[in-house]
Chains A and B, each alone.
Chain A
């Protein structure tokens, strides 16, 4: 029998629904699975899937167009996405970009006429240590140079004609995660189950552990709130969306210490009373998936997941991995939850907070990968040991992802409270002009303030350090940041959506020496409005760089010669 394209799609989708629930939360996984075989999601497919899920086709369309990694139009067999984070830019991403354009004969945003290659920019893919980096479909290639990308493209062509899969090429990232490396897996879990949930919470609280995802919320308190919240179902979510440009420490933890993350989730489940855990893994980390799956399987086999964990009747908990679909804002916990529920990743209004009402309106603990790993160490070695490190309000140690102009980029385990100077010493970044502490949403610290402390008391951070050498152009930095925030804004609130566009236009005026002092003041004032009125942390932090430029680099940004006439 002859089948039309639509009939075929229907068959494939029906097949997919056999392994996915007919619930809205299955929407993104279904789209992703369909895309693997089909390349893109056709209008018919969107309508048919909507029908199966009993939602409106327009909702599927709204969702599909939200996420970068869902294609609503046919793209090339190989989708090349070059990371445009600042580290990549500093390490020659532009040269690589030109090589790609020349080799393929297309510009960014286009697909080759033979339908083989699509070329796109993408936000940071967590490879800053080995910048520049790019993804070819799900595979990551790092340390790119012009000759290397030329070869990669040739390989892709050959592999396609010989039906071999393309395999990425990532070299080892330097990391000194010593505490995690010396941890004996399951020490925390075996200990925790001998304690009452309240005692576990007390231990975490005493340790002073604060969330490593950026917001710094006390972890013990979060677990306590979720434990106290009423709800038949509760969820433990691990935030592995690591999208903050310049951050790659979660990738290292997941690669080397995945057991610790799953273990801490299991402890959280014990404390809170949850049966289901979800790891929200950013799409860019698809290459970690097989490893994570195998760790999960091993834990199930060892009775560390599943029913009756450690032989304790009633202690049932399992973890599944949910892939993101390319949206930095989905790292924000409420956007993440929206995304888990199969919606556009738009942050929610708070209150209620996830610990009260999160995924499916049930109490939900959302923790960063590193927070979870640290929780294991704390339960193993005790709150006292942890609290003996760091400062008054910032206890313990922390992983820092270091990139940019320094001789030893990588992931560093360091105690809280060190100064920027000390950090630069450690990583070989002496003589820098400025340091971005805490990723794009953090603070741009000028050289004269390098004595500032990295701690919640002063520079509280999620973990990314980007070092700018003396000859870096701060306006280019600001331009790059704002381009990122504009691209990654979910677009729901006015100040973030429209305000950042105005800031970027302003930065470009400054670059061309056409911004009046008065307008600069307007922009700074607008920056304050964006910080104060945006709904989520993205908008609230997006103008930081403009404020920093105005405060610390005013001479540099106003001293532009006017180009041409």
Chain B
């Protein structure tokens, strides 16, 4: 049965089994830590708080901001707690005059180069610099404070805004872009006080290889990086009585938005959110999970067709493995860095775009609404969705299929503005026709979720048996997990009859009997890159049939539009919320979603990958390459 090969997630520490223990004394408290533990980690275990700024759990230590300095006996200078491993007995003091003065000075120096008015900043009350200033008792600008901005704000990107006036050069964005995402769009240019976070040739973000994943925003301690805020535009639509404004919500924001309202990570707000959105004036609220289910059927069918061509027709030209295409950051990554792999991308649109297209056609028609008066908003965990909905090819309904992609953070702001106390309002349902979806659509939010949803459907359709027969409670655990790149295999030992919906495409399943289906999963583009390189080199991933790629670490739940901060623990809690909800759904398989089936009966009548769905639910890609002029 299923087997797994793993590539460790970037940045994870492998603890050797027989690590030595070392004694440390921190502020007079003695403790034992495994050799190699940093002073920072050790201090945390005994409740000694050492301030940090350039440090981020998802990133390799940089040791550049110097705020975390502590005294170490026997050392002439102070040492950075975030980078110094304890490998021999050590005596540390974190609360000396020198340390306190140093912290003050370092904050003072950062403030002396940080132009920005806290009141007018998106990160007001959620800014690490502001917090440090408060914690370390900044009472005046000892070394001055800029009164004029030095740099123009880069608003050229449809997803990300860069305001270098607020940058404190912690380099977390640069490290994210390179270490976690492998995009390499951001770098540090120049040296000395002139050094600056920059793109290639200082070009605007819209013209470089940025994939809009927004991971840099999630790790920016200040307001230097933020999403392109479209809340005012959405308000204008809501305030316009001639507009029929509907919204679709994705699973990940629902599992995370509570964090913006003081709830612990992993608190699901799905149904409170419905109430809030209605109160704010949206004419209808729909569940994106439906189009996730639809994606499974379209993408799954596409996979079956590709496999059929490859295995039965022996067509060598067919591109395998098939790559998922629902992560717009990943899609742009392929367009820039691996344009030659575009044929491997599924042509299926992402759930956001599929639902948009259906809302402006199927829903509009059904409800007698002129699609030109319709505004479709999508609540997404993702900044890249903003770019995606602006792609010129995403107008298959005859209009822009989705008008606005809002991030979780933007929505939290709108809800606050509306005076709605999200955690404490009653729950309500989604609107027909996109009301109750399936748990399969729900788990799209977590890495491995698309694959699991797809497998639930493929297994049932091909074997004619219940998934539960093979996997306890339909939880396909082998594809779950957090490893950055992983593989699983499922051997098809029995086949059943071809279901009605696919009959026109394949005569029978005999050709799949005994076939071992190999699937791969990668999240975080640096891992995606490893997988693609492996494929190109003919490695194990090249034998996969289907690979799920998510640009963001953890999948959508770790998206660039999600609440800040982010770390592995927060992402794990969001994932748990998502998987728990899945188990609570009555329907947990995409092909059993009654609304999807109804759609194929009423509207997409020539079935998955048929003419109508090709027109509305599939798309094409643009080879961009990485050379820019």
| Interface residues of A, Cβ cutoff 8 Å to B | 43-44, 46-48, 51, 55-59, 61-62, 65-66, 327, 344, 349, 351, 486-495, 497-502, 522, 525-526, 528-529, 531-535, 540
> Given the complex, which residues of B lie within 8 Å of A532, measured CB to CB?
69, 77-78, 98, 102
Q: Is the CB of B112 within 8 A of A58?
A: no
* Closest A residue by C-beta to B184: A56
A41 to B409, CA, bound (A): 42
Q: Is the CB of B198 within 8 A of A62?
A: yes
Q: Is the CB of B184 within 8 A of A497?
A: no
Instruction: Say yes or no for B47: interface residue by CB 8 A criterion.
Output: no
Instruction: Say yes or no for B49: interface residue by CB 8 A criterion.
Output: no
> Given the complex, which residues of B lie within 8 Å of A55, measured CB to CB?
184
Q: Is the CB of B627 within 8 A of A47?
A: yes
Q: Is the CB of A65 within 8 A of B110?
A: no
Contact of A58 among B109, B113, B186, B627 (CB under 8 A): B186
* Closest B residue by C-beta to A490: B191
> Given the complex, which residues of B lie within 8 Å of A490, measured CB to CB?
191-192, 195
A534 to B184, CA, bound (A): 27
13 A-B pairs besides A493-B63, A497-B169, A502-B112 with CB distance below 8 A are A43-B201, A47-B200, A55-B184, A58-B186, A61-B201, A62-B198, A349-B80, A349-B84, A494-B67, A494-B106, A525-B101, A533-B69, A534-B66
Q: Is the CB of A62 within 8 A of B188?
A: yes
* Closest B residue by C-beta to A55: B184
Instruction: Say yes or no for B624: interface residue by CB 8 A criterion.
Output: no
A540 to B102, CA, bound (A): 13
Contact of A59 among B80, B87, B102, B184 (CB under 8 A): B184
B57 CB to closest chain A CB (Å) equals 17
Q: Is the CB of B102 within 8 A of A529?
A: yes
Instruction: Say yes or no for B178: interface residue by CB 8 A criterion.
Output: yes
Q: Is the CB of B143 within 8 A of A502?
A: yes
How would residues 69 to 96 of chain B score, 1 for a CB under 8 Å from any chain A CB and 0 otherwise? 1000000011010011101000000000
26 contacts between A and B (CB under 8 A): A43-B201, A46-B200, A46-B201, A56-B187, A58-B198, A61-B201, A66-B189, A344-B188, A344-B191, A349-B62, A349-B63, A349-B80, A349-B84, A488-B191, A488-B192, A489-B191, A491-B191, A491-B192, A492-B169, A492-B171, A492-B195, A494-B65, A495-B105, A526-B105, A529-B105, A533-B69
A411 to B193, CA, bound (A): 34
Q: Is the CB of B142 within 8 A of A498?
A: no
B336 CB to closest chain A CB (Å) equals 11
A79 CB to closest chain B CB (Å) equals 18
Instruction: Say yes or no for B236: interface residue by CB 8 A criterion.
Output: no
> Given the complex, which residues of A lie within 8 Å of B184, measured CB to CB?
55-59
A208 to B142, CA, bound (A): 46
> Given the complex, which residues of A lie within 8 Å of B626, measured CB to CB?
47, 51, 57
Find residues 604-629 in chain B having any chain A CB closer than 8 Å to their own CB: 626-629
A528 to B77, CA, bound (A): 10
A493 to B205, CA, bound (A): 26
> Given the complex, which residues of B lie within 8 Å of A44, measured CB to CB?
627, 629
A61-B189, A66-B190, A486-B192 are known contacts. Are A525 and B200 too (CB-CB below 8 A)? no
> Given the complex, which residues of A lie within 8 Å of B105, measured CB to CB?
495, 499, 525-526, 529
Give the number of chain B interface residues (Cβ < 8 Å): 53
> Given the complex, which residues of B lie within 8 Å of A498, measured CB to CB?
109-110, 112-113, 193
A488 to B193, CA, bound (A): 10
Instruction: Say yes or no for B194: interface residue by CB 8 A criterion.
Output: yes
> Given the complex, which residues of A lie within 8 Å of B113, measured CB to CB?
498
B73 CB to closest chain A CB (Å) equals 15
Task: From B66, B190, B628, B629, name the one whose CB has the most chain A CB atoms within 10 angstroms.
Answer: B66
Task: From A58, A62, A498, A501, name the one whose CB has the most chain B CB atoms within 10 angstroms.
Answer: A58
A324 CB to closest chain B CB (Å) equals 14
Task: From A487, A492, A500, name the one whose CB has the most chain B CB atoms within 10 angstroms.
Answer: A492
Contact of A497 among B98, B183, B193 (CB under 8 A): B193
* Closest B residue by C-beta to A61: B200
* Closest A residue by C-beta to B533: A54
Q: Is the CB of B78 within 8 A of A65?
A: no
A58-B186, A494-B169 are known contacts. Are A533 and B83 too (CB-CB below 8 A)? no
B110 CB to closest chain A CB (Å) equals 6
> Given the complex, which residues of A lie within 8 Å of B565, measured CB to CB?
none
> Which 9 A-B pairs have CB atoms at the shortest separation, nearest pair first?
A56-B184, A491-B195, A62-B187, A58-B187, A498-B109, A529-B105, A349-B83, A58-B200, A65-B189
A499 to B192, CA, bound (A): 11
Q: Is the CB of A65 within 8 A of B66?
A: no
Q: Is the CB of A522 within 8 A of B192?
A: no
Q: Is the CB of A533 within 8 A of B77?
A: yes
Q: Is the CB of A495 within 8 A of B142?
A: no
A529 to B201, CA, bound (A): 35
A349 to B80, CA, bound (A): 9
* Closest A residue by C-beta to B110: A494
A65 to B143, CA, bound (A): 28
* Closest B residue by C-beta to A351: B85
> Given the complex, which residues of A lie within 8 Å of B496, measured CB to CB?
none
A56-B184, A494-B66, A533-B69 are known contacts. Are A66 and B199 too (CB-CB below 8 A)? no
> Given the complex, which residues of B lie within 8 Å of A525, measured CB to CB?
101, 105
Instruction: Say yes or no for B204: interface residue by CB 8 A criterion.
Output: no
A525-B101, A533-B66 are known contacts. Are A491 and B83 too (CB-CB below 8 A)? no
Contact of A494 among B64, B186, B209 (CB under 8 A): B64
Q: Is the CB of A62 within 8 A of B69?
A: no
A341 CB to closest chain B CB (Å) equals 15
A370 to B282, CA, bound (A): 76
* Closest A residue by C-beta to B337: A56
Instruction: Say yes or no for B61: interface residue by CB 8 A criterion.
Output: yes
Q: Is the CB of A489 within 8 A of B65?
A: no
> Given the complex, which residues of B lie within 8 Å of A495, measured CB to CB?
66, 102, 105-106, 109
* Closest B residue by C-beta to A67: B191
> Given the complex, which residues of A lie within 8 Å of B305, measured CB to CB?
none
> Given the complex, which residues of B lie within 8 Å of A51, measured CB to CB?
626-627
A43 to B189, CA, bound (A): 14
Q: Is the CB of A540 within 8 A of B77?
A: yes
Q: Is the CB of B195 within 8 A of A497?
A: yes
A531 to B195, CA, bound (A): 21
Find residues 105-140 in chain B having any chain A CB closer than 8 Å to their own CB: 105-106, 109-110, 112-113
Task: From B98, B194, B198, B201, name the one whose CB has the most chain A CB atoms within 10 angstroms.
Answer: B201
A378 to B194, CA, bound (A): 45
A59 to B61, CA, bound (A): 19
Instruction: Say yes or no for B310: interface residue by CB 8 A criterion.
Output: no
A51 to B628, CA, bound (A): 12
B76 CB to closest chain A CB (Å) equals 8
* Closest B residue by C-beta to A519: B142
Q: Is the CB of A65 within 8 A of B192?
A: no
Find residues 162-185 in chain B having any chain A CB closer than 8 Å to their own CB: 168-169, 171, 178, 183-185
A19 CB to closest chain B CB (Å) equals 25
A488 to B109, CA, bound (A): 19
How would residues 399 to 435 of chain B score, 1 for a CB under 8 Å from any chain A CB and 0 otherwise? 0000000000000000000000000000000000000
A543 CB to closest chain B CB (Å) equals 11
Find residues 138-174 in chain B having any chain A CB closer than 8 Å to their own CB: 142-143, 168-169, 171
B584 CB to closest chain A CB (Å) equals 44
A93 to B374, CA, bound (A): 72
A99 CB to closest chain B CB (Å) equals 28
A492 to B65, CA, bound (A): 8
> Given the complex, which residues of A lie within 8 Å of B87, measured CB to CB?
351
